[in-house]
Amino acid sequence: MEFTELADHPLPRGVVTEWIPTVTATDRWYRDDRPLAYTHEEHCRHSLAKAATGSSDEIGAAWIGAVFEIHDRYDAEALRRALRAWTSRHETFRSTVTTDGVDADGGARLARSTVPEDAVDVVPRVLGRRRTGSDVHADVSDFFARTLSPFRWPHCVVATVEDIAPSSSTEEDDETDRFLLVFGADHSVMDAYSMLLAVSELRRLYEFEIHARDPRLAAIGSHLDFSVVDRETGDCLTPDHEVVRTWSSFLSDGSFPPFPLPVGADDEHGPERQSSLSRYLLSAADTDALAAHTRARGASMTAAVVGALALTSRDLAGERRLRVTMPMHTRFEPQYAESVGWYVGVVPVDVHVDPASDVDDAVRRAAAGLDAVKGYARQPYSRVARLLNVDSVPQFVVSYLDLRHTPDAESWPLWNTRTLRSATASRDEVYFWILRTPLGLSIAARFPGHEEAVRNVHAYLARFQEVLRESAGAGVESGADRTVHA
């Protein structure tokens, strides 16, 4: 599974249509007193700060999404009904945020408005036939850039490409029975897992409209209700809470730990736009072997990944202490398991290894480090940061997701599914997304476009892969990657 910028994924030529949610009557909006989740609020305030300084205008909004094929005939009216059902299903798509005066701290007061399920529709805007994939890229990129914002509704939009050129993914390709769907959403209404839930839901809802096939969608809760609980949880935190004290120790100098190797962050003339990389680390067989090896020692795959990172940092940077920020899901209640929204917290992971530590020892230490912060994701970091008066942002972030049991995961390769993210500007942030899918273990990364960063991140990932393969009992074999330099 690749997680790349839209610019890194080839799109076919064809007829492009934009699909835009609308409200049937403006008086259907109502003031919603449910508060924003802490992460949602922080995202909005970050967007306001960016707008106020005019920084990184060329990068644009922070959005995520996916692109995939639907192997069925294109029916615009059926698709409209499917998109309307999807927008109605998830309340987060039917809610928005505006600024409303000044709050007690002197910042912008944020107010939520929502519309009922029956008040939304989806309207197509046909742009016409595009002769090249580059033209399609330009259309979709512009559509997302001018539409998506935490303060401008709708917060999730769709584009389709029909009458497309034949694809190598099917043996007998009928151009009339296949089309491409791309969606993008402001990060405030969607997390990485939601992107992949959306792929399954959109396909199933379309199949229902075309073939009357039961979409088999579970009943779900609303992220807006989750936000109430998130707010209550965060508001209960005090400076002497265990979670706050742990974060305070992790951020000993008021800043997040950097990537273990130099990334050219001090070069003020270096490129601001980040580079990207996507590659497979282990085959499905090697991943299963690693999981079995780790499970036999009473640890998880997350511990195996973190242990391998700790050994990599020791081997390349001489660091005996791995400090990394890890996102963790907050879908602790069954009603949120298939709900679209931003159900993610972060935890501070701190793992020590010795010069003599082998893989088993590193995994054991990693498991202990993860256990020490188990459940911390429930406590919103944005609230912790306020209590600690910290305004720095994470620099080295590693996410691990096991996606094998996500609905329809086995069909992602057939559908040419790719998850997408917007471009990012930063001279010091390094993000790794490590994903376990039916095809094995893959990694997507973003990192500074500086020459030093590109060289060191590649070296780090090469050693990381070696450690993983050694842990799985496999030989070392270089994986193919795709890197885009700024």
Kindly list the domain boundaries of the chain, sorted by start residue. Answer: 3-225, 239-484
pLDDT reading at 122 higher than 70: yes
Whole-structure pTM value? 0.92
CATH no. of 239-484? 3.30.559.30
Please give the Cα distance from 162 to 136 (Å, whole number): 11
CB 122 within 8 A of CB 21: yes
Please list, in sequence order, all residues whose beta carbon lies within 8 angstroms of the beta carbon of residue 43, skipping any fewer than 6 positions away: 62, 150, 187, 188, 342
CB 308 within 8 A of CB 349: no
**Identical fold between 3-225 and 239-484:** yes
Give pLDDT tens digits for 365-379: 999 999 999 999 999
Q: Where are the beta strands (DSSP E) in 163-233?
A: 179-186
User: What single-letter DSSP state applies at residue 37?
Assistant: P
Using DSSP, state whether 53 is helix, strand or coil: helix
Per-residue pLDDT, averaged over 354-363, amounts to: 95
- Residue 50 pLDDT: 81
Please give the Cα distance from 87 to 114 (Å, whole number): 12
pLDDT reading at 481 higher than 50: no
Q: Which residue has the higher pLDDT, 479 or 105?
A: 105
Give pLDDT tens digits for 249-264: 999 888 999 999 999 9
pLDDT reading at 38 higher than 90: yes
Per-residue pLDDT, averaged over 163-189, amounts to: 75
Of the candidates 356, 303, 257, which has an alpha carbon nearest to the alpha carbon of residue 468?
Answer: 303
- Residue 485 pLDDT: 38
The CATH superfamily label for domain 3-225 reads Chloramphenicol acetyltransferase-like domain (3.30.559.10)
Q: Which two tokens stand for residue 59?
A: 């990068």
Assign 442 a pLDDT band (cuts: 50, 70, 90): very high
Considering the chain, what percentage of its residues have pLDDT values greater than 90?
84
Which residue is listed with tokens 């086995």? 410
Q: Which two tokens stand for residue 66?
A: 């996916």
